[in-house]
Chain A
Amino acid sequence: KQEVTQIPAALSVPEGENLVLNCSFTDSAIYNLQWFRQDPGKGLTSLLLIQSSQREQTSGRLNASLDKSSGRSTLYIAASQPGDSATYLCAGNTGRRALTFGSGTRLQVQP
């Protein structure tokens, strides 16, 4: 059974800092891995999706990497802004097709 872990659980940084969010998964037979953003009381916004054949994806200030062999993915946020404050979730897609979510990292970017 796939298990997904996210570290740290919470993070507070000053505006402008570059930061890395970590995600680890137990089943390396992963089809893809997604990173989502969730604002308080809201649904999910998909940020990046990395297919199993890919090693990274980039969108604007966001870069996500995937290392299947070590069971790890990272989300890099460059030049953080207060508007980046949210909970970031990673989720792995394995053979069952449903996503297994991590517990999330709550990010607070201080102005």
Chain B
Amino acid sequence: GAVVSQHPSRVICKSGTSVKIECRSLDFQATTMFWYRQFPKQSLMLMATSNEGSKATYEQGVEKDKFLINHASLTLSTLTVTSAHPEDSSFYICSARARNLRGGIGSDTQYFGPGTRLTVL
């Protein structure tokens, strides 16, 4: 099956530093990757949509200069949290969209990474 990895799984950093999170599709090509954020006891909220070779599309209220997204290849997207603050502490999850062999809009499936827990001190 399709596998998506994230690295690191857990990171603790000091306030003001930058943190990079990698999301990789291991056995398939992903033209689109999504970044979600989950605060404690809340559901997942979409932060941005990342398309290979183009600029990411950010959701309303998400600062694009703070959350830098790069989707340089069909298997890798990175999220960099710049000048992190304690309120950025959260669980960040990526997903990669794979179109199955039969194709068709209705067959799109997203595969999720295991998540990265960020704690900013």
Contact surface of A with B, Cβ cutoff 8 Å: 31-32, 34, 36, 41-44, 46, 49, 51-53, 89, 91, 93, 96-104
Residue of B nearest to A31 (CB): B106
Query: Assuming the A-B contacts A31-B106, A97-B97, are A44 and B43 also in contact, with contact meaning beta carbons closer than 8 angstroms in the complex?
Result: no
Looking at A44, A49, A103, the one whose CB has the most chain B CB atoms below 10 A away is A44
Contact A99 B110 (CB under 8 A): yes
B67 at the interface (CB under 8 A from A): no
Please judge, given known A-B contacts A31-B106, A98-B46, A101-B43, whether A46 and B112 are in contact too, CB under 8 Å. yes
- Residues from chain B with a CB closer than 8 A to the CB of A96 are 49
Smallest Cβ distance from B90 to chain A, in angstroms? 12
In chain A, what residue has the closest Cβ to B94? A43
Q: Give chain B residues whose Cβ lies under 8 Å from the Cβ of A46.
A: 111-112
How many residue pairs, one in A and one in B, have C-beta atoms under 8 Å apart? 56
Across the A-B interface, the 5 shortest Cβ-Cβ residue pairs: A43-B114, A43-B115, A101-B43, A101-B44, A44-B112
- Residue numbers of B with Cβ under 8 A of A are 32, 34, 36, 42-46, 49, 91, 93, 95, 97, 105-115, 117
Q: Would A93 and B108 be within 8 Å (CB), given that A42-B114, A99-B95 are in contact?
A: yes
Known: A99-B34, A102-B43. A93 touches B110 (CB 8 A): yes
**Which residues of A have CB within 8 Å of B114?**
42-43
Complex: how many Å from CA A86 to CA B113?
Answer: 18
Chain A residues in 8 Å Cβ range of B49: 96-98
